Structure 1
Amino acid sequence: MHITILTMTLSLPGCGSLKEKRQRMGGLHERFGRNPAVAVCESGEHDRLEASEWTFVVAAMSPQKVESLCSEIEEKLQRSVDGRVLDVSREIL
């Protein structure tokens, strides 16, 4: 079993409320949590309206599959969230 922890920090410029922050993040739990190989949670920046940090734990039988899933998550997040990705880190376990 191969496991990678993918953490992404996003900037949400101009975000004025918690409700707007939730709308801009657009249901990441529903989108990525459907895949049994991925666990997702908002892991940081809870108290800041203009930032958000999300962590994805990706597990698969091959390192290529884990890499593919991580890349897919990064691409979808960059396309679908009304904000900018500031930082991406991967920790291979």
Structure 2
Amino acid sequence: MHISILTMAFSLPGCGSLKEKRQRMGGLHEKFGRNPAVAVCESGEHNRHDASEWSFVVVGASRREVESLCSQIEDKIQHSVQGRIINITCERI
């Protein structure tokens, strides 16, 4: 069993409310939470309008499978989130 925690921090310039923040983040729970190998949560910057941090716990039978899932998550987020990614970390457990 292989596990990685992918954490992504976002800047949301001009975002004026928590409602707008949810809209700009594009429903990350719905997009990635359906996959049984991925758990997703907003892990930081809960009360800030102009920033957000999300963590994805990815589990797989092989390291290659986990790395592939992490790459897919990064790619999809870069094309769907209306914000700027300011930091990405991936921790293997």
TM-score (norm 1): 0.99
**Structure-1 residue corresponding to 2:88:** 88
Structure-2 residue corresponding to 1:65: 65
Identity of aligned residues (%): 71
1:6-43 deviation line (CA, Å, top 9, x unaligned): 00000101000111001001110000000000000000
Q: How many residues align?
A: 93
Aligned partners of 1:79, 1:13: CA distance in 2, in Å?
17
| Structure 2 CA distance for aligned equivalents of residues 22 and 12 of structure 1 | 11
Task: Flag as ranges the 4+ runs of structure 1 deviating above 6 A.
Answer: none
Structure 2 distance, partners of 1:58, 1:21, is: 24
Residue type at the aligned position of 1:9? A
Structure 2: tracts of 5 or more residues without a match: none
- TM-score, normalised by the number of residues in structure 2: 0.99
The residue number in structure 1 matching 2:44 is 44
Which structure 1 residue ranges, 5 or more long, are not aligned? Answer: none
Indicate the RMSD between aligned Cα atoms, in angstroms. Answer: 0.4
